[in-house]
């Protein structure tokens, strides 16, 4: 059995991977031969090679997103061939949740403004800035999506006793917070101070957050995005910021990334953008390999996969 891998690894990590899967063989590099004994693809395999790998049984992605596999054609192929698709969302869940949490606290403590303000205590400017600074405790939150990032964020926010609801297409029943479904969304948006977008990019989510959505939000609320840029109508977001309908937006994802010069979001007031660094963390490659190996042993033992999306 062979494993095709196109994840870039340093020498140590490549050796760890090879030794951990032995006697299976890791097939790497541009001149690798795509033979029928390749059963597993690990990394970001091109859709095209899948047709060439008749023996392929399982694809393990190093990303959380799997948009390009999320097509009717691929789903049909996967179902016909009994091909499993797993992702690495759990690897990114905690760093992404912490990144979003950093956004929330930076906003509530007004860090961007405070870090460039040098004023003496008691001055009007000081009183204004101090009065704008707030506590997250007890505030209302709407989360769009209740996946791994949301679940970790809910854990992290617990000591703040925020009032959190999560949007899902339908309730599963095991959610740690009250669930709302799309018809209940406008009412929830009308009272929440924080709206957190964690939607993946797919046909159902694209442009989900539009002008109507922003107008349903409480005036002066804050919008955060750690999901995917394509789920937001960005011109509508820039407009909502310019009108003061939103107090601020904190985005780790945009469409495209980075935004081109002159994009309306770049000049919108109180729009704070990080370049999709939310999932990053020291030892990221090592964590990805460890997560793959967890699933590899499960595969060998016939146990259910972690993070199976198809």
| CB contact set of 51 (below 8 Å; sequence gap of 6+) | none
Residue ranges in contact with a copy of itself by CB under 8 A: 94-95, 98-99, 101-103, 105-106, 108-112, 114-115, 117-121, 126, 129-137, 155-156, 158-160, 257-259, 272-282, 284
Least distance from a copy of itself to the Cβ atom of residue 304, Å = 26
Question: Measured from the CB of residue 133, what is the shortest distance to a copy of itself in angstroms?
Answer: 4
Nearer to a copy of itself, 192 or 273 (CB): 273
Residue 156, both tokens:
């992290």
Shortest distance (Å) from residue 58 CB to a copy of itself: 25
Smallest distance from a copy of itself to CB 181, Å: 28
**C-beta of 103 vs 299, nearer to a copy of itself:** 103
Residues 6+ apart with CB under 8 A from 212: none
- Is residue 88 within 8 Å of residue 291, measured between CB atoms? yes
Nearer residue to a copy of itself within complex by CB, 80 or 118: 118
Q: Which is nearer to a copy of itself, 38 or 249 (CB)?
A: 249
Residue with smaller CB distance to a copy of itself, 24 or 102: 102
Q: How far is the CB of 277 from a copy of itself (least distance, A)?
A: 5
Report yes or no: 292 and 45 within 8 Å, Cβ to Cβ.
no
Please state the closest distance from residue 143 (CB atom) to a copy of itself, in A.
16
Residues 6+ apart with CB under 8 A from 282: none
Of 60, 99, 194, 276, which one is the catalytic site residue? Answer: 276
| Catalytic residue flag (residue 276) | yes
- List the one residue out of 44, 51, 60, 65 whose CA is nearest residue 145: 65
CA distance 129 to 266: 24
Sign of dihedral through CA atoms 196, 199, 201, 206?
negative
The smaller minimum CB distance to a copy of itself, of residues 10 and 184, is found at 10
Residues marked as catalytic: 276
């Amino acid at each position: 059995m062979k494993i095709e891998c196109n994840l870039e690894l340093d020498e140590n990590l490549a050796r760890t991977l090879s030794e951990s899967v032995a006697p299976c063989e890791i097939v790497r590099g541009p001149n690798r031969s795509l033979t029928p004994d390749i059963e597993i693809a690990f990394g970001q395999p091109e859709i095209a090679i899948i047709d060439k790998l008749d023996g392929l049984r399982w694809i393990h992605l190093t990303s959380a997103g799997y948009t390009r596999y999320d097509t009717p054609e691929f789903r049909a192929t996967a179902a016909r061939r009994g091909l499993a698709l797993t992702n690495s969302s759990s690897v990114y869940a905690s760093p992404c949740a912490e990144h979003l949490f950093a956004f929330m606290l930076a906003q509530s403590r007004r860090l961007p403004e405070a870090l460039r303000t040098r004023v003496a205590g008691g001055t009007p400017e000081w009183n204004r800035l101090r009065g704008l600074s707030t506590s997250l405790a007890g505030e209302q939150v709407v989360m769009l999506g209740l996946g791994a990032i949301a679940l970790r964020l809910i854990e992290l926010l617990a000591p703040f006793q925020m009032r959190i609801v999560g949007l899902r297409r339908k309730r599963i029943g095991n959610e740690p917070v009250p669930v709302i479904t799309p018809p209940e969304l406008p009412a929830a948006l009308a009272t929440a101070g924080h709206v957190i977008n964690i939607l993946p990019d797919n046909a159902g989510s694209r442009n989900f957050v539009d002008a109507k959505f922003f107008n349903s939000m409480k005036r002066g609320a804050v919008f955060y995005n750690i999901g995917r840029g394509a789920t937001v109508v960005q011109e509508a977001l820039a407009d909502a910021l310019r009108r003061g309908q939103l107090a601020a937006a904190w985005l780790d994802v945009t469409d495209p990334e980075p935004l081109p010069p002159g994009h309306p979001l770049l000049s919108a007031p109180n729009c704070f953008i990080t370049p999709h660094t939310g999932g990053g963390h020291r030892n990221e490659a090592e964590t990805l390999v460890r997560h793959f190996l967890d699933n590899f042993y499960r595969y060998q033992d016939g146990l259910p996969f972690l993070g199976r999306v198809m």
